[in-house]
Structures are given as structure tokens and as C-alpha cells.
Amino acid sequence: MSLDKPYKDVPGTTIFDAEQSRLGYHLNQFCMSLMKAANRERFKANERAYLDEWPMTEEQKQAVLARDLNRCIALGGNIYFLAKIGATDGKSFQQMAGSMTGMTEEEYRDMMIKGGRSAEGNRYVGEDGDAQAQHQPQGAAGRKGH
């Protein structure tokens, strides 16, 4: 039984807690395997075959193949582990974060330099701030093509 989690009402935020850790254990172990050059080469040579060596859910595998990092996080991925996928693809953390927010790398960088997103409209789910799901790739806009 999961505990009451008032933080689930924070828009655009998945807290990596014990439940998420259990959910994403194999996904995160796969990511950590990419720290070894030989594993990165095997993954890049045949992503699906390499993923099939891991007891991840099909949904987790599909999220990795699509490089849908927001979905990976929802499925238990930890951003610090998922960064290994980006590094394998030659992407910086800033490029990855930008893609997760629907921004270009430059837009994301500029937003962060200016202090990040405003808390206005983003304190709880249902407000209309720019971090709300309906304004993010993981929200309604990101699901249009799926």
C-alpha cells in the first residue's frame, strides 16, 4: 500500500521515491550498463536486442526506443541514470532537459539562467502555468501523435 503523497499534485513533477525506484529498477540498471563502452556499442548496434536482455516492461523499452524521457521518468526512470542514454546518443544534459520541456536547448538554457520557471500557475495541478501538463510534451500536446 502506498503512502499519501501530497507531492503528486506538483505539475510536471515526478518524485523519485521508493515506489518509483522499485518500478524503474531494471530500467535504471540498463541505463547504468551504458557506462561501459562495450555495452554502449552493443546498444547502438541493435537497441531492441540489447533492451530485450533486460527484464524491463515493454512500455519501458518502447519509451527508451522513442527517447521519451518524460515517459521513462513516469515508468520509474531516474534522470541521473537516464542521462546515460543521452550521453550514449551524444547529447548534453541541457539538450535532454530542453527536449523534456518542449524547448530548444537555447530556450531551456535561457530560462534556467533567468531563474527557471515561475511558481505562478505552477504550484499545484490545475493551474494554468507553463509547467502544467497541457503545456508540456508529457501532457496532452505530447500525446497527439500517440
> How many CA atoms does the CB half-sphere of 21 hold within 13 Å?
3
Question: In angstroms, rounded to a whole number, what is the distance separating the alpha carbons of residues 35 and 71?
Answer: 22
Check residue 139 and give its pLDDT: 44
Mean pLDDT of 64-72: 95
Question: Model confidence at 132, in pLDDT bands (50, 70, 90)?
Answer: confident
pLDDT tens digit string along 108-120? 888 889 888 777 8
Q: Name the least confident of 48-52, 78-82, 103-107, 117-121.
A: 117-121
3-state secondary structure the chain: CCCCCHHHHCCCCCCCCHHHHHHCHHHHHHHHHCCCHHHHHHHHHCHHHHHCCCCCCHHHHHHHHCCCHHHHHHCCCCHHHHHHHHHHCCCCHHHHHHHHHCCCHHHHHHHHHCCCCCCCCCCCCCCCCCCCHHHCCCCHHHHCCC
Describe the crossing of helices 79-88 and 93-101 by its angle, rounded to 10 degrees. Answer: 110
| pLDDT higher than 80, residue 30 | yes
Question: In angstroms, rounded to a whole number, what is the distance separating the alpha carbons of residues 79 and 97?
Answer: 9
Q: Which carries the bigger pLDDT value, residue 21 or residue 141?
A: 21
